Amino acid sequence: MKTGKYFVVYILILLLAVFNMGSCETVENASGESTFGSAFAPETSGTPAPVQNGKKRVVLDVPYISQHPDYPAGCEGVSAVMLMNYLGFDVDTDYFFDNALDAYPFTFDWRTNTYYGEDLDRYYVGDPTSKHGKGCFAPVIKTAVEKLLPEDYIAVVEQGDTVQSLADKYLNEMKTPIIIWATIEMRDSFEGTTWRISRTGRDYTFPAYMHCLVLVGYDDEEGLFWFNDPYENNGLTAYEKSIVEEKFKELGSQALAIVKRADYRADSAKVVEGAYYYIRNAATGKFLTSPDGETFNGVNAVQGTYTGEECQQFSLEFFADGSASLVCRASGRVLCVESSDGEDTDGCNVVIKQDVAADAGRFLITKEKGFNKISLKVGGSSLTVCGNYNGDVGDTRFSAGNVYAGSTDGDGYYSLWEFVKAGVK
């Protein structure tokens, strides 16, 4: 009987350990001391240092806020407030968490031995004031930040780029810091708690040591990225570029910036034949995706978090009239609009299939607001996404994350796209 009791106690200890692995739990080294990325700090400035031998050094002076002790699992929100404060917005952490962040409870059902939560692209999961809180991804912070921004500003979700390319674009060119998702002190992530997503019934495994911090600078000479790291009062902290790139990719290559709408321009290369492209939505930062691209003919096109897989890569085949078809690399099938008469396309689903009627699968690609609009050759409706979430293959345009043919939606950015070159055919 003693052995049985000890076994039960051991299992309970394991469950508590897993439960406690939130996005920003305390990490210690072998000697029991907190570990830091750097013990020295550079002089900060809003102006890039001169280029020497082709190398740059940029460190922006961003007001620092620690997430401890008030928000031990709230690195995402604290980082967002640092970014907003740098841009001159008078927002504090308490107001942000109380009024802007959409949170969903993290619970455990002892009857079924199951944890319950939600999709990190939809909600902050758990309680950021508790060490048991989990976290959220960039789309949730975008939604929260835009509740507090004036109309002439936009929160931009970036996915699929490198940290260096984002540093060049935002810190060096636009003189603004950005938020990135990586890991606590750039440690190796691993599979943490698994919970059931209440809305879909699917299981999701949380990446333990997930962390969010503010990229404020870089140093080419020393090979460092500089951060305002809200974890454990780390302050201005440096990590080696190579390890940051690795951990950034490990957490989905996602970042968030806040810029004036008038100043933001996408990095769309000139779209040409003979190349594959990721096609990223201007409003959500998510990518056009064929969810079952290799197996199912006629699957609804959706938007999804960047994976780098072939189901998110498309080539273009141009025709004499200037229109083009978009072909999924994974399946060789064509993006098209389901319309009974081929002309009244507004509100119709966008699908990926073979044997497509010519006009249903031909698009005109034009520039608008620094992005690309992808419009039907017949009818003029544009590829548009429904909301900020990853798509579930649904029956109608109103299924969250689905791509449909519609008129300009809201401020128009849900109907605009950026072509990011993925490779050569």
Work out the mean pLDDT of the chain and round it to a whole number: 81
Do 184 and 203 meet the contact criterion of CB atoms below 8 Å apart?
Answer: no
**What CATH architecture applies to the domain 39-263?**
Alpha-Beta Complex (3.90)
Dump pLDDT digits (tens) for 319-362: 888 889 999 999 899 998 876 554 556 678 888 888 777 688 88
Q: Where in the chain is the domain with CATH 2.80.10.50?
A: 275-424
pTM over 0.75: no
Dump pLDDT digits (tens) for 362-371: 898 887 877 8
- The model's confidence at residue 26, banded by pLDDT at 50, 70 and 90, is very low
| pLDDT at site 40 | 41
Q: Where are the alpha helices (DSSP H) in 50-91?
A: 75-86
Rounded CA separation 51/19 (Å): 48
Mean pLDDT of all residues in 103-124:
95
The length of the chain in residues reads 425
Residue type, 246: E
- What six digits make up the tokens of 333? 């099938």
Do 124 and 104 meet the contact criterion of CB atoms below 8 Å apart?
Answer: yes
Q: Which secondary structure element, helix H or strand E, spans residue 190, and what is its range? A: strand 190-197
Q: Where in the chain is the domain with CATH 3.90.70.10?
A: 39-263
What CATH number has the domain spanning 275-424?
2.80.10.50
Buried b (16+ CB within 10 A) or exposed e, 104-124: bebeeeeeeeebbbbbbbbbb
SS3 124: strand
pLDDT at 108 over 90: yes
Do 337 and 358 meet the contact criterion of CB atoms below 8 Å apart?
Answer: no
Do 166 and 177 meet the contact criterion of CB atoms below 8 Å apart?
Answer: no
Dump pLDDT digits (tens) for 218-269: 999 999 999 999 999 999 999 999 999 999 999 989 999 999 877 776 555 4
